[in-house]
Amino acid sequence: MSKGLAFDKLREILLEKDWEEREEFAQKLSDLDDQLNSRNRLEEKIQPILDDERESLRHRFPDLFGPQITETISKQIRESQDEVVEALYPILGRMIKKYITSEIEKLSEKVDEQMKLAFSWEAWKIRIKAWFTGTPQKNMIISKLIEPKIEEIFIVEKQSGMLMGSFSKNHSVDQDMIAAMLTAIKAFVEDAFKGETQELDSIDYDNYKIVIKNFKSFFIAVVTSGGMSMAFRDKLDDTLLDFAEKVLRKAKDADEEVKQERITSGLEQYFDNFDKNE
Amino acid sequence: MNKKVILVGHFGVGKTSVVQQFVYSKFSEKYLTTIGVKIDKKLVKFDGYQMTLLIWDIAGETEQNSVSKSYKLGSHGIIYVFDLTRPSTYENLEGQIEYLKTLLPNAPIQILGNKKDLISEEEFNSVKESITLPFKATSAKTGEHVEEAFIDLAKAML
Ligand SMILES: Nc1nc2c(ncn2[C@@H]2O[C@H](COP(=O)(O)OP(=O)(O)OP(=O)(O)O)[C@@H](O)[C@H]2O)c(=O)[nH]1
Ligand SMILES: [Mg+2]
């Protein structure tokens, strides 16, 4: 081997290999760079890891954070008890109502059964009338055959008896006075019957029935005329709960005038056409 | 602005008469004891303000009973009436006021010594000496200081 040849060989051995590796290395680097800087490709790589982590977190979440969350929630409840109760009232109301509705359905089925068993002349008369008018027999017995109507609605602060808002078809009465008087009547009846837990829920007066729905810091009194039917009462209850939840809770924190305005316009919105689409 | 005002005090001291004088400018010698509570309403105007008072005239009592307690709750202002001619109606004035303050810590209280028209100036001075709390001497019959009492309370409730 000549001196020159040997040198080339040596260079080849020393550098060629190096070049190759370096190129390979550069390729890898550029690949990596590509993966890191292009979102899609990065996601492709990382997503499975994230998915795994998320899945495991989901399983371990109650253990990991349960105690802190419980602590935070119970602290929140303790610190804002009134708000929580206020928020729960409509929900509880609805739950109780559901239960009662099902109990009434049972009762009404019993009435039906009784009707089937009854062979008296009175029963036949009712039955014939029911066939003619197409009204279920039980409804004919229960309702007084007069369409029920809402005359007035009062939203009243408990204790003070201050009117928070109202709805009226004829604006003939002094609503502040009625609100205060209703509060006094309620206080009287509830105290007279030592009803710490029982609250007055309706007053019959002349041809009017005043339905009272109690909430924590206020009550709603609805003055109705005509025969109160199950369906009407039911719809009224639903609408009142809905109204309490959607309008009253939001209006609660506003200042006095804004509050009264909101409640009153809310009442109009909810009850203007209440009787019509019966 | 609506405010609930209650009138409290012993039987026959003139609570109903004071309200009648203030709301209707009327007076009657007849004594018709109030049963439960009687509610009246009056709009008052002062210093550019307007305030609607819902006045709860509560039946007189010798001891605190629970029904009248619920009538009192939620009040924004209190008028406590005693009878200048009957010491038994102001003997335990401090105690009564203390009770009302505990029941309604945020409600201002206006104390009235009523039936001023029935006593002489001397008698009045000796009654005044025996009472430690500040009060207004009123007469539901002549109307003396009646409106002023309500307006002062209204101002305190602002
Ligand atoms: N001369 C005089 N008589 C008064 C005055 N105020 C009340 N009276 C009379 O005192 C009697 C009782 O007055 P009421 O206003 O009914 O007393 P009340 O405190 O409302 O009594 P109860 O409702 O029973 O608690 C009535 O006969 C009134 O005419 C007054 O300022 N002067
Ligand atoms: Mg009276």
Task: Give A67-122 pLDDT, tens digit per residue.
Answer: 788 788 778 777 777 777 777 777 777 776 666 666 666 666 666 666 665 555 56
Q: Check whether A141 has a pLDDT greater than 60.
A: no
Two tokens, residue B40: 């009246």
Question: Could you tell me what percent of chain B has a pLDDT over 90?
Answer: 86
Nearest residue to A185 (alpha-carbon basis) of B11, B67, B53, B16 = B67
Homologous superfamily of B2-156: P-loop containing nucleotide triphosphate hydrolases (3.40.50.300)
pLDDT > 70? residue B25: yes
Distance CA B149, CA B15 (A): 13
Question: What distance in angstroms lies between residue A162's CA and the mean position of ligand 1's atoms?
Answer: 28
A269 vs A61: which has the higher pLDDT: A269
Query: Which regions of chain B does DSSP assign to beta strands (E)?
Result: 2-8, 37-46, 49-58, 77-83, 109-114, 136-137
Query: Quick check: A61 pLDDT over 90?
Result: no
Return residues 44-83 of B near A (CB < 8 Å): 52, 54, 56, 66-67, 70-71, 73-76
* CA-based max dimension of chain A: 138
Q: Is the pLDDT of residue A145 over 50?
A: no
How far does B40 lie from chain A, in Å, by closest CA?
7
Residue ranges of domains in chain B: 2-156
Q: Tell me which of A146 and B35 has the higher pLDDT.
A: B35
DSSP A66-132: HHHHHHHHHHHHHHTHHHHHHHHHHHHHHHHHHHHHHHHHHHHHHHHHHHHH--SHHHHHHHHHHHH
Q: How far apart are CA B133 and CA A150, in angstroms?
A: 51
Q: What is the pLDDT of residue A130?
A: 65
pLDDT band at B39 (very low <50, low <70, confident <90, very high): very high
Find the mean pLDDT for residues A6-14: 71
Mean pLDDT (whole number) for A148-172: 88
Residue of B51, B67, B75, B76 best to disrupt the A interface, most CBs of A under 10 A:
B67
Rounded distance between C-alpha atoms, residue A141 and residue A154, angstroms: 31
Q: Cα-flanking dihedrals φ and ψ of residue B53, to 5°?
A: -95, 125
* pLDDT at residue A120, as a whole number: 58
pLDDT attached to residue A139: 59
Interatomic CA distance for residues A115 and A120, integer angstroms? 10
Angle at which helix A121-133 crosses helix A81-117, to 10 degrees, equals: 110
User: What tokens were used for B121?
Assistant: 């100036």
Report percent pLDDT > 70 for chain A: 73
Which tens digits make up the pLDDT trace of B71-105? Answer: 999 999 999 999 999 999 999 999 999 999 999 99
Expressed in angstroms and rounded, the spacing between residue B98 Cα and the centre of ligand 1 is 24
Chain-chain contact of B2 with A188 (C-beta, under 8 angstroms): no
Tell me what ipTM this predicted complex has. Answer: 0.85
Q: Is the pLDDT of residue B27 over 90?
A: yes
Indicate whether residue B143 lines ligand 1 (CB < 6 A).
no
> What is the side-by-side order of every strand in the sheet holding B77-83?
B37-46, B49-58, B2-8, B77-83, B109-114, B136-137
The pLDDT value recorded for residue A103 is 66
Between A37 and A108, residue with greater pLDDT: A37
Residue type, A103: E
Q: How far is A163 from chain B (nearest CA, A)?
A: 9
Cα A205 to ligand 2 centroid, rounded to whole Å: 25
Q: Give the pLDDT band (50/70/90) at residue B137.
A: very high
Whether residue B67 has pLDDT greater than 70: no
Contact B76 A181 (CB under 8 A): no
- Give pLDDT tens digits for A250-266: 777 777 777 888 888 89
Pair type for strands B49-58 and B2-8: parallel
Stretch A161-182: mean pLDDT: 86
**CA distances, B86 to each of A114, B11, B115 (Å):** 68, 11, 10
Least confident of B38-47, B55-64, B117-126, B128-137: B55-64
Q: What is the CA radius of gyration of chain B?
A: 15
pTM value is: 0.68
Q: Which residues in chain B have Cβ-Cβ distances shorter than 8 Å to A217?
A: none
Give the containing element (helix H, strand E) for A197.
none
Whether the CB of B73 sits within 6 Å of ligand 1: no
